[in-house]
Structure formats: structure tokens, C-alpha cells
Amino acid sequence: MAPVKVQKICCIGAGYVGGPTCAVIALNCPDIQVTIVDLNQARIDAWNSKDFKLPIYEPGLEDVVRKARGRNLFFSTDVDKAINEADLIFVSVNTPTKKSGVGAGFAADLNYVELATRRIASVATSSKIVVEKSTVPCRTAESMRTILEANSKPNCHFDILSNPEFLAEGTAINDLLKPDRVLIGSLQTPEGIDACTALADVYANWVPKERILTVGLWSSELSKLAANAMLAQRISSINALSAICEATGANIDEVANAIGFDSRIGPKFLKASVGFGGSCFQKDILNLVYLSESLHLPEVAAYWRQVVDMNEYQKRRFAKTVVDTLFKTITGKRIAVLGFAFKADTGDTRESAAITLIKDFVAEKALVQIYDPKVEHEQIWLDLAEAIPGTPIEAIKKQVTICASPVEAASKAEAVVIATEWKEFKEIKWEDIYATMDKPAFVFDGRLLLDAEKLRKIGFHVTTIGRGAA
Ligand code: UDX
Ligand code: ADP
């Protein structure tokens, strides 16, 4: 049998991964009909909104959707119809860390993947290529295959591929248009290799052939966890060094620059910070830890766990620095937190370091004034309610305010904390911030974003992560 020529794609899950990925596929493959489906009606309505108020903020995304929507890109809640029509189905649903049961706090919750897979099995009346796109533990493809085979109708054959997504939020469109690589894993059987070729041909519409890597199914699944673990490990390593810098008077930027010149190390992903966040790093490492433990490799598990432990330490260390510097108490003091997203250029707050900081400030009885240019207010309240369980949201709202501008957030505050590296924070008129704050006015730069010397000239006391006291 020759590989199928893919004509219709269905993507189950219209989130941060499924939405942008399949929008870019539609843009680059005008001959393929791409339908992105989701159970969440509000999300689909937003994708279909006339004024392009899309459910996620991602630079360049609106442009892609404007070009392809209604041409060969469609958003729908009719999951069954899209499954049935498609030759190839991406499963791009959420895979959060389990909150209860075996592996709670570590293992991935595969309930959504399983439900989507069962849906495919129950409604499909013809053969399909099913592609696992969500980040999942190794051997998930194998479970999907078992479910599909056990529940399929006669004459329905399913080939399973793993095609992990490596996009980073904030740069997703560029990452998708010019990926470092596309990775496709398949069973090394003739059918598996044909399915792999069918998907590779889709990407070949815009990705150079040498960047499309085809490997075994399990290598592909493990590579995604490994890539994220290695990236996060670099951040934890530089953050560990930032603590040494603060204690010795060395400068973490100078250290990162010096080591990054070594071509074997390279300059990227060496920015010290208040801690990494996002939906992937912590989840994927904990997945790797769980996998290692399940494989009876406790030393390997402990090694990777330390990357997450160091990240927790960094967040707590930063919060403690704020309290210690403000004369060891922040009770009743106003603290402005600039940035709530886990990184700049996204409205996503999953695992954002800002959440941990604010939780600690609230526990210390401070009054927190938050400003973020993109995050929805409702999302901030949801995150804080989850992070501070047992405290009614009305009580949280007595201590936390969401503000419409940096100046409003800084009003009568004793300290400004930079939690996200939004470019606009560099461009603030810091004189105005100074004027509105109580004195002495402190700035804590958790993102190495600001020109500390300039701020000191205005009168601020500045503490920058990875730099000894001036
Ligand atoms: C990451 C991976 O980069 C991507 O390949 C994968 O598909 C999903 O997970 P993402 O989480 O969207 O992407 O963003 P990323 O740019 O990797 O940043 C993750 C976190 O690390 C952010 O909180 C960021 O601020 C932080 N970070 C990043 C640092 O603290 N220092 C750095 O040098 C780089
Ligand atoms: P990610 O960052 O991995 O894309 P998101 O949470 O942003 O994760 O998106 C996952 C999407 O998948 C959500 O919008 C959710 O409603 C959707 N979803 C989960 N399970 C199913 C399912 N069985 N059928 C359709 N959509 C689903």
C-alpha cells in the first residue's frame, strides 16, 4: 500500500497547541481542509468571532487565522463529524499533572487523551491516521493503539503516530513557520512507515525535508520530555548560579555571557529569572521523574526532580529577598507586581512564577497590586483561588487588587516587583512610578529587565536577581 495523501485533517483540542499548529498547517496547505474541534463552545465561538477576538493571545496568530479561516480552516464543536471526515486526526487535548490517585502530583492525567481516543474509535467508520500531539508520557501511543483496536469497527484500521510540538508560547507562529525540526515517530512496520510518510508530506509543504526527522514511536515520545527537561535544566542551573552571584557580588549576566560564548554551551536559555513557568517544563519533568521511578531508576528520578526543586527554591528565595529587604516585614505594605503571565508575549498563566510570589506575599499579609497587559482578570482570580485554597475569594480580594496600569499598581506601594519580562515595563516612565510610591521606594527585578543604575539615579533601591547588593 502507498502512503495516503492527506486531504482532510481534524484536530481535537483548540488550545495553545492545537489552535496555532493547525492554523499554520491550514495556511501552508491550501489543498487540505483543516477542522479544529473542541468541546468548549465558548472557545470555538472565540475562534470563530467576527472581530477575531481569539481565545489565546499569540503574536502573528490573528493574521494566520484571518488568511485561512473560512477558506480551508474551520472551527467547530461537531467533534464526531470532523473525526469521520478526516484522514488524519491530531489529538491535541490537555494533559495536566494528576491531582489525585496513583502518581498524583507527578504523572500526567491521560483522561482527556483516553476520552478523545475512545471517541475516535466509537465514531470512525473508515481508517485513520491518529497523531498524538499533546505532550504525553512514553508509551501513550501504545495505549491509544490498544483502545482503538479494541473498539474499532470492521474495515477500520488505525495507524498511530507521535508528532510532539516544540513551539514556545509568545513565538509560536514563527516556531511553526520555521521549526528547528519536525519529529514524527511511528511503528517501524510498513503501515507505520507509510503513515509517517503521509504526515511528513503534509509538513513538506513548507518545512525543508532535512528538518523532518522520522524515528521510532517511543524515541519520539521520550524526545519531547527530554527536550523540555534539558531546557528547564539550563534555567535551573543558571538560577542556582544566580544565588552564588548574589552572595559573592558576581554578576549573573556576565557569567551567562561568558559561558555562552563556548560554542558547546551556546548563549540561549541562560537568562536567570524568578523561576520558569508554563504548562510544559514542570509537568514534563515530573512525568520523567514518574517514568524513571516506574522503571526502578531512583537515581535518575532524583536527578531530574532536582531541576524542579531548584525552581521552587528560586521562587521562594526571591519572595524572601523582598520580605527581608523591606525590613523583614511586609504586613500591611503595598507591593506592586508587574506581570502575571509566565513569560512575555502570552496571556497564559499556567505555573507562572508570579502566582507563587503573590501567594507568599498574601501569606505575609501584604496588599498586592497586580498589573499585566494581557492576562484576563478572571484568570488571575481563578489562579489565586486555586493557589490559596481554603481562603474565600472575597478574602483574597481584600488583599489583592488588579490594576489598569503600572502607575496605578505602584500607587502608594513600598515595592515594585518585576515578575514577567514584558517589554513595556522597560519603557515605563519610572519617574512617575517613583512619584506615586511610598519612600524608600524599592524595585525587585526578577527578570534582569531594567537598567538598575538609571533607577538608582531616580532614587529607587534596586535589587536584581543574580547581582550582589550595589
Ligand atoms: C517550552 C519549550 O521551549 C517548547 O519547546 C515546548 O514546546 C513547550 O515548553 P514555553 O513554556 O512556551 O515553551 O516557553 P519557554 O520560552 O520555553 O519558557 C518557559 C519558561 O522559562 C518561562 O517562564 C520563561 O520565562 C523561562 N525562561 C526561559 C527563563 O527563565 N530563562 C530563560 O533563559 C528562558
Ligand atoms: P494545550 O496547551 O496542550 O493546547 P489547552 O488546555 O490549551 O492545552 O487545550 C486543550 C483543549 O482540548 C481544551 O480547549 C479542551 O476543551 C479540549 N479538549 C479536551 N478534551 C477534549 C475532547 N475529548 N474533545 C474535544 N476537545 C477536548
Give pLDDT, residue 424.
97
The residue-averaged pLDDT of 47-70 equals 96
19: CA distance to ligand 2 center in Å? 10
Name the one residue in this structure whose C-alpha cell is 520580605.
323
| Residue 343, marked binder | yes
Q: What is the CATH number of the domain that holds 332?
A: 3.40.50.720
Compute the mean pLDDT over every residue in the chain, rounded to the nearest whole number: 96
The residue-averaged pLDDT of 411-425 equals 98
Residue 218 lies in a domain: no
Whether ligand 2 lies within 6 angstroms of the CB of 129 is answered as no
Task: Check pLDDT > 60 for residue 29.
Answer: yes
Backbone angles phi, psi at 451, to 5 degrees: -85, 100
Residues 458 and 336 in one domain: yes
Name the one residue in this structure whose C-alpha cell is 474495515.
155
**pLDDT band at residue 470 using 50, 70 and 90 as cut-offs:** low
- The atom of ligand 2 lying closest to the CA of 93 is 12
pLDDT in tens, 120-148: 999 999 999 999 998 888 888 889 999 99
| Structural element, H or E, at residue 358 | helix 353-363
Task: Check pLDDT > 60 for residue 154.
Answer: yes
Residues 43 and 191 in one domain: yes
Residues 312 and 192 in one domain: no
Pocket residues for ligand 1 (CB within 6 Å)?
165-169, 228, 231, 235, 269-271, 273, 276-278, 280-281, 342-343
- The atom of ligand 2 lying closest to the CA of 279 is 2
> Residue 272 CB: number of other CB atoms within 10 A?
27
- The atom of ligand 1 lying closest to the CA of 235 is 31
Task: Check pLDDT > 80 for residue 43.
Answer: yes
Residues 315 and 456 in one domain: yes
Whether ligand 2 lies within 6 angstroms of the CB of 466 is answered as no
**pLDDT band at residue 235 using 50, 70 and 90 as cut-offs:** very high
- Active-site residue list: 280
Residue 134 lies in a domain: yes
User: Which of 207, 237, 266 is at the close of a domain?
Assistant: 207
Residue 43 lies in a domain: yes
Give pLDDT, residue 408.
98
Residues 40 and 181 in one domain: yes
Do the Cβ atoms of 247 and 468 come closer than 8 Å? yes
Residue 77 lies in a domain: yes
Compute CA distances 430 → 243, 321, 340, 440, whole Å: 27, 22, 19, 15
Of the given ranges (104-108, 342-346, 366-370, 458-462), which has the lowest mean pLDDT? 104-108
Residues 198 and 312 in one domain: no
Ligand nearest to the CA of 20: 2
Residue 260 lies in a domain: no
Q: Which domain holds residue 415?
A: 308-464
Ligand nearest to the CA of 15: 2
Whether ligand 2 lies within 6 angstroms of the CB of 18 is answered as yes
Residues 186 and 318 in one domain: no
Whether ligand 2 lies within 6 angstroms of the CB of 17 is answered as yes
Residue 387 lies in a domain: yes
Higher pLDDT pick, 313 / 96: 313
161: CA distance to ligand 2 center in Å? 19
Of the given ranges (86-100, 174-188, 359-373), which has the lowest mean pLDDT? 86-100
Whether ligand 2 lies within 6 angstroms of the CB of 113 is answered as no
pLDDT in tens, 254-291: 999 999 999 999 999 999 999 999 999 999 999 999 99
In what side-by-side order are the strands of the sheet with 33-37? 73-76, 33-37, 8-12, 88-91, 128-132, 158-162, 182-186, 212-216
Q: Over pLDDT 70: what percentage of the chain?
A: 99
Residues 194 and 326 in one domain: no
Give the number of residues written for the chain.
Answer: 470
User: Which of 161, 189, 207 is at the close of a domain?
Assistant: 207
The residue-averaged pLDDT of 402-419 equals 98
Give how many domains the chain has, as a whole number.
2
Q: Over pLDDT 90: what percentage of the chain?
A: 91
pLDDT in tens, 215-231: 999 999 999 999 999 99
Report the Cα 312 to chain-centroid distance in Å.
17
**Integer Cα distance of 436 and 420 in angstroms:** 21
| Residue 149, marked binder | no
Ligand nearest to the CA of 183: 1
306: CA distance to ligand 1 center in Å? 18
Residues 176 and 324 in one domain: no
- The atom of ligand 2 lying closest to the CA of 112 is 20
The residue-averaged pLDDT of 369-380 equals 97
User: Which of 154, 180, 207 is at the close of a domain?
Assistant: 207
Pocket test for ligand 1, best of 224, 273, 318 (most atoms within 8 A of CB): 273
The residue-averaged pLDDT of 169-184 equals 97
Residue 151 lies in a domain: yes
**pLDDT band at residue 155 using 50, 70 and 90 as cut-offs:** confident
| Residue 334, marked binder | no
User: How large is the C-alpha radius of gyration of the chain?
Assistant: 24
Contacts 24+ apart (CB under 8 A), 384-392: 384/355, 384/358, 384/359, 387/355, 387/356, 387/358, 387/359, 388/359, 388/362
Residue 152 lies in a domain: yes
Give pLDDT, residue 391.
93
Whether ligand 2 lies within 6 angstroms of the CB of 346 is answered as no
